[in-house]
Structure 1
Amino acid sequence: MEIVKSKEFLGEKPWASKLIANMDGITIKLHWTNEPYVWHINDGQEVFAVLDGSVEMFYKVGGQTESALLGPGDIFYASAGTEHVAHPIGEARILVIEAEGSI
């Protein structure tokens, strides 16, 4: 049993994470960041939930780049093969659920 106060989590570097749980190969991690990630495609599906702050999520649909502004409580679902990149606006804390070892 553990209680995690997400607003108190501060990583040592951008995209630092705290492993909350690993459930049969699916990881749930709390991330802290103040810098963009890199364009990537996960090895499977990903659920990206903004807990604190704002994130502009860029993603490609049919080769075209689109974006959505995500705030606290907003969730981005990346199906397998979705190319995407997160750009926080200031500091953000994000809960990411994905297959273990995915980027």
Structure 2
Amino acid sequence: MNFITPHSFKPDTAWNALDIANMDGVTVRMHWTDQPYRWHENDGQEVFVVLDGAVKMHHRNGDGETIWQMGPGDICHFKEGDEHCAVPEGAAYVLVIEREGSV
């Protein structure tokens, strides 16, 4: 058993990850960041959970761009091909669940 608290993870650079689990090709990783991630589309589903801090989640579709304000406990689910970009407001810890090797 592993017991993990977000603040125990102190990486050197933004978006470094602590690998928590790999369950039959699905990874659970905790990230720390204070920098935006790049716009991207996953090759599978993604679940994004804010553990601490605030993140503006940008999403593009045929109607333009939508921005959701996320705080601790908020969860976002993306389907394969959903174009999105996470922009933290200050430092944030997030949990990402996705296919192994996904962007």
TM-score range, shorter-chain basis? over 0.9
Q: Which sections of structure 2, spanning at least 5 residues, go unmatched? A: none
Aligned to 2:13: 13
Residue deviations 1:32-52, cap 9 Å, x none?
000000000001000000000
1:59: Cα distance to partner? 0.4
CA RMSD of aligned residues (A): 0.8
In the alignment, what sits opposite 2:96? 96
Gap regions ≥5 residues in structure 1: none
For 1:40-59, list aligned pairs within 5 A: 40-59=40-59
Return 9-18 or 85-94, whichever deviates more: 9-18
Greater strand share, structure number: 1
User: Is the partner of 1:90 in helix, strand or coil?
Assistant: coil
Stretches of 4+ moved more than 4 A in 1? Answer: none
TM-score of the pair, normalised by structure 1 = 0.97
Q: Tell me the matched-pair count.
A: 103
TM-score (norm 2): 0.97
Q: Which moved more, 1:42-51 or 1:62-71?
A: 62-71
- Cα displacement (A) at 1:63: 5.0
**Matches of 1:10 and 1:84, distance apart in 2:** 25
**CA drift at 1:7:** 2.5
1:98 is matched by which residue type in structure 2?
E
Partner of 2:65: 65
Identity of aligned residues (%): 49
Deviations 1:46-99 (A, max 9, x none): 000000000000001215111000000000111111000000000000000000
| Cα distance in structure 2, aligned partners of 1:101 and 1:46 | 12
- Give me the whole-angstrom Cα distance separating, in 2, the residues matched to 1:80 and 1:63: 18
